[in-house]
């Protein structure tokens, strides 16, 4: 009987210790992920270079970025092979429709043109898509995407300045917050 009394507190201590070690590991992992995925510094001249650039469109047209200056712009880097990118496209499409005349949304596809055309044939969006290809990775890095991951979103103010950057999937609360603050 004495052994049962001794083992119960020891078992409880072991359980609490294990839970504490697990919580510490989770916090450390979350902190490391935040540190690695947080937007980094914007390269000197990158915003100006972005506004001077243009991209081919899936239908063979040209999409000059200067066309979007004067209103807030949500620029989203995505790819057809990126599940979180695909999940957020309908949300971005709805945001573009709700904010028409106040905001612009542009998607830059870091992918093969044929894959993008095929994908958009099945899942159309109403906002402009530019074909950034692999060069889009360099552009996103110059805008602070240190990890080079997708999706990556940059919000520009009406004057062309960077207001927000987000690595990872967007949520409705992000869009609502940005829309209420004007970028």
Q: Are residues 13 and 79 in the same domain?
A: no
The tally of CA atoms less than 13 A away on the side-chain side of residue 177 is 9
Indicate whether 29 and 95 sit together in one domain: no
Together in a domain, 59 and 22:
no
Q: Are residues 82 and 170 in the same domain?
A: yes
Instruction: Verify that 83 and 17 share a domain, yes or no.
Output: no
82 shares a domain with 56: yes
Residue 28: domain span: 1-37
CATH number, domain of 162, equals: 3.40.30.10
For the four alpha carbons of 105, 110, 112 and 116, in that order, the dihedral sign comes to negative
12 and 82 share one domain:
no
pTM, two decimals, is 0.79
Does residue 106 sit in the same domain as residue 21? no
Q: Identify whether residues 72 and 29 lie together within a single domain.
A: no
For residue range 27-74, what is the model confidence (pLDDT) as tens digits? 444 333 333 446 789 889 999 999 999 999 999 999 999 999 999 999
Q: Are residues 27 and 53 in the same domain?
A: no
Residue 163 pLDDT class (50, 70, 90 cuts): very high
pLDDT of residue 93: 98
Q: 128 pLDDT exceeds 50?
A: yes
Instruction: Give residue 31's pLDDT.
Output: 39
Q: Quick check: 2 pLDDT over 60?
A: no
Q: How many domains does the chain have?
A: 2
Residue with tokens 């998607």: 107
Q: What does the chain look like in DSSP terms, one character per residue?
A: -HHHHHHHHHHHHHHHHHHHHHHHHHHHHHHHHHHHHS--PPPTTHHHHHHH-EEE-TTS-EEEGGGGTTS-EEEEEE-TT-HHHHHHHHHHHHHHHHTBTTBEEEEEE-S-HHHHHHHHHHS--SS-EEE-TTHHHHHHHHTT-TT--SSEEEEE-TTS-EEEEEES---HHHHHHHHHHT-
140: pLDDT strictly greater than 80? yes
pLDDT value at 10 more than 80: no
Query: Do 67 and 21 share a domain, yes or no?
Result: no
Q: Supply the pLDDT for residue 106.
A: 98
What is the distance between the alpha carbons of residues 79 and 66, in angstroms, rounded to a whole number? 23
């Amino acid at each position: 009987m004495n052994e049962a009394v001794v083992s119960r507190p020891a078992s409880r201590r072991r359980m609490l210790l294990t839970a504490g070690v697990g919580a510490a590991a989770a916090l450390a992992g979350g902190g490391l992920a935040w540190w690695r995925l947080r937007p980094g510094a914007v390269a000197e001249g990158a915003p100006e270079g972005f506004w001077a650039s243009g991209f081919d469109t899936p239908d063979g047209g040209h999409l000059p970025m200067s066309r979007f200056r004067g209103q807030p712009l949500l620029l989203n880097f995505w790819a057809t092979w990126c599940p979180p990118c695909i999940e957020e496209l309908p949300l971005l499409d709805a945001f573009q429709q709700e904010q028409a005349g106040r905001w612009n949304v542009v998607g830059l596809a870091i992918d093969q043109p044929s894959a993008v055309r095929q994908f958009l044939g099945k899942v159309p969006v109403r906002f402009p898509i530019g074909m950034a290809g692999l060069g889009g990775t360099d552009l996103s890095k110059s805008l602070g995407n240190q990890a080079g991951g997708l999706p990556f979103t940059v919000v520009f103010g009406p004057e062309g300045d960077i207001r927000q950057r987000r690595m990872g999937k967007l949520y409705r609360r992000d869009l609502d917050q940005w829309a209420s603050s004007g970028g």
